[in-house]
Chain A
Amino acid sequence: MENTDKSLIEAHRQGDLKAFGELVRRYGDSILGYLMRMSGSHEQAEDLFQETFKRVHEKAHTFRGKQFKSWLFTIATRVAIDSLRRRRRLQVVSLEQKLDCADQNSEELGAVVLADNSYEPSQEAARAEQAEQVRQAIESLPTRQRATLVLAYYQQLSYREVAEVLGCSIGTVKTQIYRALRTLAQKLPDV
């Protein structure tokens, strides 16, 4: 029988590192995806990922009863927002980052091309360009709107969960999402 989040975090609080490891594996992909969409960079997302779970480890004793997933995303959101604030002051560019705007995604997209030969190169190029436009449009959103949209749309959190993560009402979440979509509707290309 699979351990619940609560039992795992309780076990971790008692010093069980394995329980913590299980939590990392359970939510790792989701948190990394969220942080990638928030930061726009795979490398930064990995750094934020480590920072998020470091805080989870350190603050485990403060976890009180509510949904672990919401609590985890709350921490990840704070880590991401802190990082974005710092990045606004100091633009950090990785030495490994390619000058090409496709950067790290290009490698992954390349893997997709190899896996599915039915894709035409021209189509793939157009798709990559469109993806970059979407990424830039999302990155241009205010942090709060971005977090709301990413949590709701990409991380598939319910509006209630998003409200819990962001510490606001469901109505506020909906308003934030609407504003984000309205901005994206202007920035995304017509099909």
Chain B
Amino acid sequence: MKRHLTERELIEYQFKLASDVRMKQTAEHLDRCAQCRENLERLAKKFAALDLLREGAKVSEDLISQVMEQAGHPIRTGIVPFRKRAWISAAAVLLVGLLLLANHLGQERTKQREVTKELLPVVEEMKLEEKGDYYVSGTEKEAAAVAEGQTEDRIIADKAVIAMPERAIPEQPPFAPASAIELVTLPRRDKVQLTIYNSADLTLVRERRNLTLKKGWNWLQFMWANTLIDPTSLSLEPLAQAGKIDIQQLVFPARLRELGRWLIRSELSGQVPFEITYFTSGLSWRAFYMGTLSQDEKTMRLQGYVRVSNNSGEDYEQAQTRLIVGQVHLLDEIAELARRRYPYGRPGELIPLTEQPLSEQVVDYQRDLDQIRGRLNELIAKPKEITKEGLSEYFLYTIEGTETIPNEWGKRLLSFEAEDITVESLYKYDQQRWGDQTTRFVKCNNDQDHNLGQTPIPNGDVKIYSRADSAGLLSYVGGTSIKYIPVNEEIELNLGPARLVKVEPTLMDFKTDNYVFNRRNNITGWDEIRTWKIEITNTRTLPIEVEISRGFDTAYWTMQFYDKEVSYEKYDATHARFKVNLQPRSKYSFEYTVTTYHGTREETLSK
């Protein structure tokens, strides 16, 4: 062995791991090689450190006592030794038992049929209940088993299970710490109904969810983070098995914001339908209308729409949507309640609404793109109808079917559509209200004669178009807002200034008369007499009706008017109203003289 020893050879030599021949060869090499001896010594010194842990351990008397005490206990036998004689005896006993049981069953078969008949009504009832998704009691199980012809052995077995002492529900509800409690999972909504009030920022949400309860106390957690839900309005009601389920309380745990926990005491285990109701803000709807006048402007097609907008922070899928028209008295603004810090229902600092970070906006944008496809499909689908019904103080519109309204989305729905509504085009001139310009109106009634009148018409914006030619091209005529219009009331749509119809009043004469003096020769009364000429120009190609209102700033006035073509009426104490029909592209003028009485002359008129 001319080469030097490897570390392996040194280790094997040091710890006598090599064979005898190898050990002898290594020893001979070491005798000759000083370097390998040095390596071995260095290695031996290194491994000498192992002896630092060589110090032996001493078992204490306590430890020995513990072991002996342990040994004093009966031994848990893991293996049952097979003893031939004992097994044969056991098998014989089992066989005899089975024979006796079979004989017994034969005798009892007739009795079972009778029992089955008695229990059938119960079973039928149970089967009906099984169509729902809630718990079936042990007794009902038993009846069902009999009805299905199971043997009495099985029933006895079931009885044994039923007879076992059931875990009693503790009287005291469990303490609800801030975390680490067993919660009933809040599943997805099965149904949701939205009732949106347009007079206030208020929506009533009714959700139906199937909750899986265990027998005993259950905690149900409801979170409303980033939504506008009013936590004080939360309510939970079981829709079945109400007698066995008790909603004890709703708690808002400290330090855990925007969540509430219901404590539910249940006498049964299983799935139970529940209804959760609450008010939320952020959902709104508004009505708007589109009217299309015929070419002769005698009839109009009116389409009513509602636009439902969801900014509540919550997506509502397949929601039945109902819209309420009417005023609601609110104690608080729901939006403020939702933003209020814990504890709820007390005055407190509001959490400021923050701007959404750009990164979240990008995420939302991506999500919105995904939703666009579904939304387009919905738009292509058949338009849904909105049914209406009257409530005691409000009017309720129910949108046919269900609607999915994601957060931050709006949805336009057709409310009604009426054809051939007879309308009157009317031009009004009232200097005190609209200045020197004539204003155009379209007028009809919300009644059956005008193909309307089925429901009140909610307030909203109206846009009026007109068919410009026989080809059906439309031109925008004007737009306005209307207020709530009850059934059988007049609808008057203000379309704005009319440039093709002009009304020009001109003062033709003015004089004073009938002065009254007191003892000191001061004037205490007089009359003012004005003669006005009203000239009306119709440059349109259609005949028109013009309504002219004139105000006198006093209730003491008399009118001298002689024109058979113009109708005149005293509209109110201070106003007179004239109505005149004009042919296409025509002018017409009339005059009137009005005497106003001032000072003590007013008494003359009173007499």
Which residues in A have some Cβ–Cβ distance to B below 8 Å? 17, 20-21, 24-25, 28-30, 32-33, 36-37, 42, 45-46, 49-50, 53-54, 57-58, 108, 127, 130-131, 133-135, 138, 153-154, 174, 177-178, 181-182, 184-185, 188-191
Contact = CB atoms under 8 A, between A and B. Distances in A.
Interface in B1-41: 7-8, 11-12, 15, 17
A177 B48 CA distance: 16
Query: Interface majority SS on B: helix, strand, loop or mixed?
Result: helix
Contacts of B88: none
A135 B55 CA distance: 12
Interface stretch (B61-69, B142-150, B237-245, B501-509): B61-69
Question: What 4 pairs between A and B have smallest CB-CB spacing?
Answer: A28-B59, A33-B57, A131-B52, A191-B45
19 contacts: A17-B71, A20-B71, A24-B68, A28-B59, A28-B64, A30-B56, A32-B59, A45-B57, A49-B59, A50-B70, A54-B70, A57-B75, A133-B49, A177-B15, A181-B47, A184-B47, A185-B11, A185-B46, A191-B46
A53 B75 CA distance: 13
A36 B56 CA distance: 10
Contacts of A177: 15, 17
Contacts of A185: 7, 11, 43, 46-47
Contacts of B76: 58
Contacts of B55: 108
A174 B71 CA distance: 36
A79 to B, nearest CB: 13
Contact of A135 (B53, B57, B67): B53
B367 interface: no
A38 to B, nearest CB: 12
A141 B45 CA distance: 20
A20 B66 CA distance: 13
A29 B68 contact: no
B75 to A, nearest CB: 5
Given A133-B49, A177-B17, A20 B68 contact: yes
Contact of A134 (B11, B43, B50, B75): B50
A3 B473 CA distance: 121
A133 B52 CA distance: 10
Contacts of A189: 46, 49
B104 interface: no
A50 B11 contact: no
A64 B467 CA distance: 111
Contacts of B48: 191
A134 B63 contact: no
A49 B15 CA distance: 29
B74 to A, nearest CB: 10
A134 B49 contact: yes
Nearest to A154: B54
A188 B47 contact: yes
B167 interface: no
B520 interface: no
A130 B8 contact: no
A24 B67 contact: yes
A29 B50 CA distance: 19
Given A130-B52, A153-B50, A178 B75 contact: no
Given A184-B47, A185-B46, A50 B63 contact: yes
A37 B67 contact: no
A54 B57 contact: no
Contacts of B540: none
B117 interface: no
B587 interface: no
A174 B66 CA distance: 37
B382 interface: no
Query: Interface majority SS on A: helix, strand, loop or mixed?
Result: helix
A178 B12 contact: yes
Nearest to B62: A46
A174 B58 contact: no
Contact of B53 (A30, A58, A138): A138
A37 B53 CA distance: 8
B72 interface: yes
Nearest to B66: A50
A181 B15 contact: yes
Given A131-B52, A134-B52, A54 B67 contact: yes
Nearest to B75: A58
A29 B56 contact: yes
Given A54-B71, A58-B75, A177-B15, A134 B53 contact: yes
Contacts of B72: 17
A188 B46 contact: yes
B70 to A, nearest CB: 5
Contacts of A181: 11, 15, 47
B70 A57 contact: yes
A191 B42 contact: yes
Contact of B42 (A24, A32, A190): A190
Contacts of B67: 24, 49-50, 53-54
Contacts of A130: 49, 52
Contact of B59 (A29, A127, A133, A138): A29
Contact of A32 (B45, B50, B57): B57
Contacts of B63: 28, 32, 46, 49-50
Given A50-B67, A135-B53, A188-B46, A29 B58 contact: yes
Interface string B553-579: 000000000000000000000000000
A134 B54 CA distance: 11
Nearest to A149: B50
Nearest to A135: B53
Nearest to A175: B17
Given A154-B53, A184-B50, A21 B64 contact: yes
Given A54-B71, A134-B50, 11 more contacts: A28-B63, A28-B64, A53-B70, A57-B75, A58-B76, A58-B78, A154-B53, A182-B8, A184-B47, A185-B7, A191-B48
Nearest to B17: A174
Contacts of A58: 75-76, 78
Nearest to B64: A24
A89 B64 CA distance: 29
B484 to A, nearest CB: 71
Contacts of A32: 57-59, 63
B436 to A, nearest CB: 92
B59 A182 contact: no
A25 B58 CA distance: 10
B55 to A, nearest CB: 8
Nearest to A54: B70
A137 to B, nearest CB: 9
B53 A131 contact: yes
Contacts of A42: 57
A133 B15 CA distance: 21
Contacts of A21: 64, 68
B574 to A, nearest CB: 95
